[in-house]
Amino acid sequence: MATKRVILSDLDGFQFEVVCAEIFSGLGYSVTNSQHVGDEGRDLILTDPDGVITVAECKHWPEGTVGRPVIQKLHSAVDTWPNAQKGMVLTTGTFSRQAYGYLGKVKIPIDLIDLERLRSLAARAGIDLVSNSSSIPVSAYAISDAVDLSSTIDRGLYSNLESAPSKPSSLIDIVDRIINLRPALVVKFSLQQEFSTSVGLLHEIDIVDETLMLDGHTGEIFESPLADFFESVRYVPLTEAIQDQSTRQDHDFAITRDALLGRAVSHIIYENSMTVNYRGRNNQSYSKECIPSAKNILFTDSRQIYVPEQKVVLKVFDRKYPLSFVEDGHQIQWHNSPSITNCSICNKDFEQGLLCNACGAVSHPPHFLATRVPL
């Protein structure tokens, strides 16, 4: 099952090479980017687990056709690379009849990988290659149904409450539930860039698969606790995520996906920019603005989702406690401190409290002990 989704229309030629390298790394190959050693028709050097070396050329031509000249150039590159035994051309387009015909005229085996074969290889490496974002349905993630919700809240909340003689779950009822579908774009990105001067390396950025989420209505960045929560959720089609349709409140994307990606790029650049002070060879002090380039930002996963934000009301006797959270049936993340962990007497939060089995009030243990009526 694919764990990442890459939108090919988001990539430039260099970023496509990075994705190809990731695919073959996921398949167990040792991969070298030959840009660092002089290209000359070689983009990647692939070494399989048996030690066979393949010289690969990457062509991100979604609407194009790779012809015979590219194959000829690769044949020469394989022939001159030390110990290379095979060649490979990877493309998001197609190959011409002349390209296939040329294969019969060379002794070195050359494999032509078109988009469909590339998708198959990527899937084996855990990557879902999508040609265009417009073909992707908006996803969500599965949440607890009405029956299981109590157990989910129980695991995330009731352990903080002491109650006798009854357990909290036997006293607390869920009397109201609203599911607010918040549109969002969730991306994973990588960013590698070095900043140097004549004195040497000043600063290096090395970010791999960091998650960023943007609100699809406002364009704002999601706060950290929520972004962390979504690291482990499993996305499914919206129709599978929410069974109880009667409690849904849907909100449309007010900002396009491309505009959200643009905001993500701006945010990444801003967060990773810095000024480095250094001393030159002439012993003078200098400063350099180290600002990442947008072309070095690679989105390794990208999907539009609806975040099912939930509001429920817990009722204990005549007392009601509103809660706001997200959950996926296994874990729960509160938007703010749950009202049922707020002391009914001093109005302060507690980590461990008491639930009164007579009136439904909650309190710090000392308060109940201090106000207990003698028998």
Q: List the one residue out of 224, 192, 176, 203 whose CA is nearest residue 322.
A: 176
| 86-91/53-59 β-pairing | parallel
Q: Convert the pLDDT of each residue in 194-212 to its tens digit.
A: 999 999 999 999 999 898 9
Cβ(214)–Cβ(222) below 8 Å: yes
Query: How many angstroms separate the CA atoms of 271 and 262, rounded?
Result: 14
Instruction: DSSP letter for 136, please.
Output: P
219 pLDDT band (50/70/90 cuts)? Answer: very high
Q: Give the three-class secondary structure for 361.
A: coil
Nearest CA to 77 out of 43, 41, 107, 104 is that of 41
Nearest Cα neighbor of 213 from 127, 324, 304 is 304
CB of 213 closer than 8 Å to CB of 185: yes
> Which pLDDT value is given to residue 356?
92
In the chain, the N- to C-terminal Cα span, in Å, equals 64
d(CA 112, CA 102): 11
Helices (H), 164-279: 168-171, 224-229, 238-241, 257-271
* Measured CA distances, 164 to 168, 222, 357, 365 (Å): 9, 40, 7, 13
Mean confidence (pLDDT) of the chain? 87
106-109 LR contacts (CB < 8 Å, sep 24+): 106/75, 108/75, 108/78, 108/79, 109/85
Q: What is the pLDDT of residue 235?
A: 83
Predicted TM-score of the model (pTM): 0.72
Element (H, E) at 288: strand 285-290
Interval 297-306: pLDDT, tens: 998 888 889 9
Q: Rounded mean pLDDT of 329-336? A: 88
Q: Which one has a higher pLDDT value, 90 or 370?
A: 90
Q: Each residue of 240-285: pLDDT tens digit? A: 777 665 566 667 888 988 899 999 999 999 999 999 999 999 999 9
Among 255, 169, 258, which Cα is nearest to 220's? 255
**What average pLDDT score do residues 43-63 get?**
94
| Rounded alpha-carbon distances, angstroms, from residue 20 to 46, 155, 191 | 11, 42, 16
Cα gap 176→324, rounded to integer Å: 12
Under the banding of pLDDT at 50, 70 and 90, the label for residue 42 is: low
Position 38 scores a pLDDT of 46
Spatial distance between the Cα atoms of 215 and 305, rounded to a whole number of angstroms: 10
Q: Of 26, 85, 20, whose CA–CA distance to 57 is shortest?
A: 20
CA pair distance 110, 54, nearest whole angstrom: 9
Long-range CB contacts (within 8 A, 24+) of 286-293: 286/197, 288/195, 288/197, 288/202, 288/203, 290/195, 290/202, 290/203, 292/191, 292/193, 292/205, 292/268, 293/193
Lowest mean pLDDT among 86-90, 147-151, 187-191: 147-151
Lowest model confidence (mean pLDDT) among 53-57, 103-107, 112-116: 103-107
pLDDT digits (tens, 9 = 90+) for 135-171: 677 888 889 888 888 888 888 788 888 898 998 889 9
From CA 228, how far away is CA 77, in angstroms rounded? 45
Domains, the chain, ordered by start: 4-130 (3.40.1350.10), 137-153+166-335 (no CATH)
Model confidence over 225-238: pLDDT tens digits? 777 788 778 888 77
Q: Which of 213, 205, 209 is nearest to 190 (CA)?
A: 209
